[in-house]
Structure 1
Amino acid sequence: MNRLLLALPLILIAACNKDPEVKMENATVGEVAKEMRKQGGSDSFVNPGRWQQTVALLEMDAQGMSPEAKSMMQRAMEKVQVHTVCLTEAQAKSPKEDFFTGADQNCRYEHFNWGDGKIDLKLNCKHPNATQTMVLTGTYEPDSYVLTMTSNSEGSRPMEKMTMKMKVDAKRVGACDGTEGADVAS
């Protein structure tokens, strides 16, 4: 899940232009990435540069979680994390196939709707002993976005069921300066 948090800035700003629109159902990760590249044409979907995202954990629940673990989760929900990334011109124009899910080829979009300043997607990932569903909804502009992500995971045992909901607020804060990737918790 931490990899997903760090990838969110790139996931979410990959198509921040109100002109192109991508609507797909039952699509592979590669099919969505290909369509996003095609819609990008010669222009960037988003302004390249330094992006800052603020992540707040709103809810988290896991079956069988000990009282100590629940207390730790509650403390985590009280903290806000800030991540920064540098989005290059090349990344803004042409995201790679694994741009949205990393190297995980076990994922498929139930639906992927991106356009007119709105995003709504549902991604299902199936592994031998676990499944994960991620629902992402929100709004975006070329230099900012706000979204809510809900993730449900289920493993082969009842205690491996977890639900998490978070809010992400991001904005372009200028040119890249080489300090991107520094995480700050408050």
Structure 2
Amino acid sequence: MMLDQHDQEQDDAAPIDMLEAYYGAHGWEYERHDDEIVATVKGSWASYELRSLWREDDSVLQFLAFPDIKVTEDRRAAVYETLGLVNEQLWIGHFELWSASGILLYRHAAMIDGGDDGTMSLGAAELLVESAIEECERFYPVFQFVLWGGKSPKDAIAAALIETQGEA
């Protein structure tokens, strides 16, 4: 959901403050704890937990999106192959699998160069959040085809990323 020009004229703010304002403007549920904010957004495939952590010392905003996919031990080899093929198609961010828990996630680290004040623009916040959600939505079916559909990673990508024309 793109914000209109009036909304984008808002001043820059600290990254977590800006994300809090962005989530609030969309009416999304969120919790804020110091330099961390967690929001929940419903996509067309699943609800996504969006977690952001601000490291002021490094001027880095770590942004994580969890598409509610847990990978069992017996499916990890296929998912690792899928991750390699999926990540080749991403311009920013990447998907990864946490080995200890089997949780699949999208991760992107953003360097925030706001000079001495370390601020983030509304446009940057919007791009960070919306691109993460779009990538999760785009590749969610790929992971499901591999995990539950028994497809090979290459077949899953081919089946899930077919470009359709028109509407049904």
What's the TM-score once normalised by structure 2's chain length?
A: 0.26
Q: Name whichever structure is richer in strand by fraction.
A: 1
Q: Name whichever structure is richer in helix by fraction.
A: 2
Higher-RCO chain (CA-CA 8 Å, sequence separation at least 6): 1
